Structure 1
Amino acid sequence: MNQKHLDQMKNGDGFIAALDQSGGSTPKALALYGITEDQYSNKDEMFDLVHEMRTRIITSPAFNSDQIIGAILFEQTMDRKIEGMYTGDYLAEKKGVVPFLKVDNGLAEESNGVQLMKPIDDLDDKLKRANERHIFGTKMRSVIKEANEAGIKEVVDQQFDIGKTIINAGLVPIIEPEVDINSSEKEKCEELLKAEIRSHLDNLSQDDHVMLKLTIPTVANTYKELIEHPNVVCVVALSGGYDRDEANEKLKENNGLIASFSRALTQDLNVNQTDEEFNNALGKAVESIYQASIT
């Protein structure tokens, strides 16, 4: 494990940029950026276009380690290059930003009020390649929709079970059991989730490091005890469908919780902007998310 990167994630001021839209969510991400589905004819062209978008974001002067301490990548992005360097190396060496890899293969069908992750049959290969690409950690997402104790236990069990494999590979897992912001039982889900996560954290070995990525809670500072847990490097928040202003306002209420936003980071960016317009829009977004993350 890279000690410098660990220190940066534990003690650095800033947030994590989530640039990890995968095959299923890429058309939506491109559409928000101003590229419609009739502008590409196959998946290869689609992934070329999204890599161009991500390259524009990452190479922008507004994207730097003064405010962004980490970035989550999709597998294809990890395997591609920016200015002749693999993306993870470019982030770490040129930008001072810690690289992470999304490792899940999407969500299973809903059961017990939750969606577990689909099996990650290629996990060992992904972790091997992540190490070869100098990736620091991973991210994997499940979704909780109802305050179903059995379902929430299943989600957290699966996350930590796979998380231990990731730790054993020398990487830091970001455990992401997202609570749906539209759940009618959101606050109850969060209480059950916190207790379940806490019990798993208490069973980790002293040297096992994890990060948590959680929905901004209904009750401010719900996750304070998780943020302070000795095995937790940091706790980051997903925007979860809130627009940036609302996500930032909610985030500010939670001390020590930092952003890991995707759509809320890129919502004002457009393929037709000049570089000056693009960099200004990105800079404004970065600054607002940074300010919300350092409360």
Structure 2
Amino acid sequence: MRENQFDKVKNGKGFIAALDQSGGSTPKALANYGISKEAYTTEEEMFDLIHQMRTRIITSPAFDSKYILGAILFEQTMDRQIEGMYTAEYLAEKKGIVPFLKVDKGLAEPADGVQLMKPIPNLDTLLQRANQHHIFGTKMRSVIKEANPEGIKAVMDQQFEIAKQIISAGLVPIIEPEVDIHSQDKEKSEELLKVELLNHLNALSEDENVMLKLTIPTSANAYKELVQHPRVFRVVALSGGYSREEANKKLKENDGIIASFSRALTEDLNVDQTAEAFNAALEKAVKSIYDASVNKN
């Protein structure tokens, strides 16, 4: 199965769904879905509700491997079940969709214009569990808010150090240094980021390969060298706060980059929709994101 997954992720047509909202972003995801904070009183109830939402998405006929290559899961989602199967196994075996796992524990406080990742305790244990659940790869996110060379270098140093640990565990890491779309010097940040990414990629050995998850660049095809780099397995784009329509439009301008959208995928879904309305809204989103990923301007 893993060989088929490698080929699907590297060469397949489609996009990667990001269903990995964690503790901090779950209330907003639920609110966008039509579930207010008044609907739950404990964290356990909150995570039960988000799993119900994710289950509804994953089991929908619109969540189809014809359009979706992979899905990124939150750790709790990996440990929960859908229709009597663990989520990752359900995705791989029932849906033919490649499972990934978010491994970071959130963001540290801002410093030098960036937010590094918080420490990831017991990462080796988490990676062992991921392998037991047949997870294909991982994802970890940092944020760049200003064009600060020292901060951006620190982001890359941290990301690649942990990426090597993930590769050693037999998994494919998705490195996500998100450039804030509201940054005053977004394009300059992207230029600095590309230089640091190339420096780190060039230092990898032939058996060390990564995926990149990047904010859609201000200048179309600015990341062409990253897309073509021999150590880069695939480049995917986050929606980063853009509406789906805007994110799709920007994505189409960038050759070789596919979507890995979260909020832009689910923005038209609501808890009160009938099954028919829910599936229709999800199908519309899936097909539009697929189109932006495979049909370039």
**Cα displacement (A) at 1:231:** 1.2
Which residue does 1:82 correspond to in 2?
A: 82
Count of paired positions? 295
1:125 Cα deviation after fit? 1.3
* Aligned twin of 1:3: 3
Preserved contact between residue 117 and residue 142 of structure 1 (Cα < 8 Å): yes
* Structure 2: 5+ residue stretches without partners: none
Match in the other structure for 1:157: 157
Q: Does 1:265 align with 2:260?
A: no
The answer to whether residue 19 in structure 2 is matched with residue 26 in structure 1 is no
Which aligned pairs between 1:192-207 and structure 2 lie closer than 5 A?
A: 192-207=192-207
- Report the counterpart of residue 42 of structure 1 in structure 2: 42
RMSD of aligned C-alpha atoms?
A: 0.8
CA distance in 1, matches of 2:207, 2:227: 17
Residue 174 of structure 2 is aligned to residue 181 of structure 1: no
1:268-290: per-residue Cα shift (whole Å, max 9, x none)? 00000000000000000000000
Q: How does 1:16-165 map to 2 (within 5 A)?
A: 16-165=16-165
Q: Any idea what the Cα deviations from partners look like across 1:28-82, whole Å, max 9, x if unmatched?
A: 1011101111111111111111100000000000001100000000000000011
CA deviations over 1:237-273 (Å, ceiling 9, x no partner): 0000001000000000001110000000000000000
Asked if the contact 1:6/1:233 (under 8 Å) is kept, the reply is no
Tell which deviates more after alignment, 255-264 or 1-10. Answer: 1-10
What SS does structure 1 have at the residue aligned with 2:138? strand
Partner of 2:227: 227
Q: Residues 213-252 of structure 1: CA distance to partner in whole angstroms, max 9, x if unpaired?
A: 0000000001111111111110000000001000000000
**Which residue of structure 2 aligns with residue 250 of structure 1?**
250
Structure 2: distance between partners of 1:32 and 1:24: 14
- Report the TM-score when normalising by structure 2: 0.98
The CA distance in 2 between the partners of 1:276 and 1:255, in whole Å, is: 34
Give percent identity, aligned residues only: 73
Find the residue that maps to 1:264 and give its secondary structure: helix
In the alignment, structure 1 segments of 5+ residues that lack a partner are none
Q: Secondary structure at the match of 1:147?
A: coil
Q: Does 1:236 align with 2:240?
A: no
**Cα shift at 1:97:** 0.5
| Structure 2 Cα separation of the partners of residues 274 and 152 of structure 1 | 45
Amino acid at match of 2:50: V
- When structure 1 is superposed on structure 2, of 226-235 and 280-289 the one drifting more is 226-235
The TM-score, its normalising length taken from structure 1, stands at 0.99
Task: Say whether the 8 Å CA contact 1:91–1:98 is kept in structure 2.
Answer: yes
Runs of 4+ in 1 over 2 A off after TM superposition: none
Report if aligned partners of 1:75, 1:103 keep a CA contact under 8 Å in 2.
yes
Is contact 1:137-1:172 (8 Å) kept? yes
